[in-house]
Amino acid sequence: MKKIRVAVIGTGNICPAHLDGYLKYPELCEVKALCDIYPEKAVETAKKFNLKDVKIVKDYHDIMKMEDIDLVSLCVPPSLHCQIACDFLSADKNVISEKPMASSLEECDKMIAAEKKSKGKLAIISQNRFRTPMMRMKTLLDSGMLGKMEFARVNSMWWRGTNYYDLWWRGTWEKECGGCTINHAVHQIDILQWLVGVPLSVTSVMKNIAHSNSEVEDVSISILQYPGAIGEINASLETHDEKQEFHIDTANATVSIPWACVSVKQRENGFFDPNPEEQEKIDKYYNSLPEVENEGHPAEIKNVLDALNGKGSILVTGEEGRKAVQLICAIYKSATEHVTVELPLKKDDPFYRKDSMLKLVPRFYKKQKSVENFNVSDITLGNMGK
């Protein structure tokens, strides 16, 4: 088994999650390099994680030339994902890119095309798929035990203060590529389409309610249409308890994450009585499913490391990452143009490309304050599945 040699590009707030993952598997990989436009941040990160022999570089192009690097983690702003991923893939390096995959569908397609020409593989971070409640729910839905899906709702609730958008790249359509929908709800949007599929169409509204140093939305609401079913996505940066929930109504039961199951049966008059036998059967099956050995970033990183060693396949591929971006671009188109948007988006749609999308999206406020650098600190990752 080959020990995979790793470099991390960007040592900001999400970098520790990647390093925790790599350092959990010393038999599978070793971190050889850290890159940041602020090298002092990379130096401090190396000290914090006791990476004594790690190489510190300022320009990621220097890592492209390093023959002792097999895999790179991209922990950089979303607007940089496409170019850097394509550059490393062109150098036949494997790439794990943070979410969202890219700024636009056009960029997603460039990354997928670059992977096809490369000896390297591309994976997109969607670490919350790798949690016991999500894995169990996916198995349960795929089993057919619940019957037809009728309604699905996801609440992507976060809280971020006004200072959050002071960082130079946040709060702009050009660099952050959007607000709570693409940079926070992307987690839940990815999982929703993984669980119940890509919708036929979406109708959305969005607004900036509480963040005056940001061009982008801090709340959005979307209604999804599926064949014979409806869905709903609610995203917010104003929710103090950061509670994230999935609610799915099916023919046989209502199930949710955090896990709950209720089943009823119809009375003659159309009202209902409890259906304890069905509820117990579903609940017993769900709880019989295995717990994942590791969760979050460490689990997804293990999935990628195993796949690179020929054990299994990458769960969140470029094609999978693209599905979430497509739905988000459709949400932005719907909220901007006040129309219902059918999926898939076509290549001639202005919301397929970043440059044309930037000409259309609303700027809710003008960004007035821009801080060059934040200190690395603990960040909240929501309460999903807990």
The whole-number mean pLDDT for each consecutive block of 10 residues of the chain, a chain of 386 residues, reads: 93 96 98 97 97 96 96 96 98 98 98 98 97 98 98 97 92 94 96 98 98 97 98 98 96 98 97 97 98 96 97 98 98 98 98 98 93 68 60
Number of domains in the chain: 2
* CA quadruple 338, 343, 345, 351: dihedral sign: positive
Does a structural domain hold residue 377?
A: no
Q: What is the CATH number of the domain that holds 269?
A: 3.30.360.10
Identify whether residues 345 and 307 lie together within a single domain. no
Show Cβ contacts of residue 271 under 8 Å, excluding neighbours closer than 6 positions.
none
Query: In this structure, what DSSP letter does residue 179 have?
Result: S
Identify whether residues 241 and 118 lie together within a single domain. no
- Contact (Cβ atoms closer than 8 angstroms) between residue 97 and residue 261: no
To the question of pTM greater than 0.75 for the whole model, the response is yes
Does a structural domain hold residue 384?
A: no
Q: How many CB atoms lie within 10 A of CB 35?
A: 25
Identify whether residues 183 and 112 lie together within a single domain. no
Does a structural domain hold residue 371?
A: no
Does a structural domain hold residue 305?
A: yes
For residue 239, the one-letter residue type is T
Q: How many CB atoms lie within 10 A of CB 2?
A: 11
Does a structural domain hold residue 366?
A: no
Identify whether residues 124 and 158 lie together within a single domain. no
Identify whether residues 37 and 174 lie together within a single domain. no
Q: Which whole-number Å values give the CA distances from 385 to 45, 154, 341, 342, in the listed order?
A: 29, 12, 30, 30
SS3 136: helix
Tokens standing for residue 359:
């000409």
Identify whether residues 259 and 165 lie together within a single domain. yes
Q: How many residues does the chain have?
A: 386
**Tokens 């999978």, located at residue:** 320
Closest among 158, 141, 142 to 256, alpha carbons compared: 141
Model pLDDT, residue 248: 98
Model pLDDT, residue 299: 98
Identify whether residues 151 and 140 lie together within a single domain. yes
Show Cβ contacts of residue 55 under 8 Å, excluding neighbours closer than 6 positions.
32, 33, 34, 66
Identify whether residues 304 and 329 lie together within a single domain. no
Does a structural domain hold residue 385?
A: no
Closest among 75, 69, 119 to 96, alpha carbons compared: 75
Range of the domain at 103: 4-128+295-312
Identify whether residues 189 and 337 lie together within a single domain. yes
Model pLDDT, residue 37: 95
Identify whether residues 30 and 154 lie together within a single domain. no
- Contact (Cβ atoms closer than 8 angstroms) between residue 167 and residue 269: no
Where in the chain does DSSP place strands (E)? Answer: 4-9, 29-35, 55-57, 71-74, 94-97, 122-124, 149-157, 201-207, 219-226, 229-236, 244-250, 254-257, 260-262, 264-266, 272-274, 341-342
Q: Which whole-number Å values give the CA distances from 309 to 98, 122, 303, in the listed order?
A: 21, 14, 10
- Contact (Cβ atoms closer than 8 angstroms) between residue 128 and residue 384: yes
Identify whether residues 350 and 338 lie together within a single domain. yes
Q: What pairs with residue 29 in β-bridges?
A: 4
Helical (H) or strand (E) element with 107:
helix 105-117
Does a structural domain hold residue 376?
A: no
**Tokens 């019989």, located at residue:** 288
Identify whether residues 205 and 254 lie together within a single domain. yes
Q: What is the CATH number of the domain that holds 117?
A: 3.40.50.720
Q: Which of 312, 344, 372 is the last residue of a domain?
A: 312
Does a structural domain hold residue 71?
A: yes
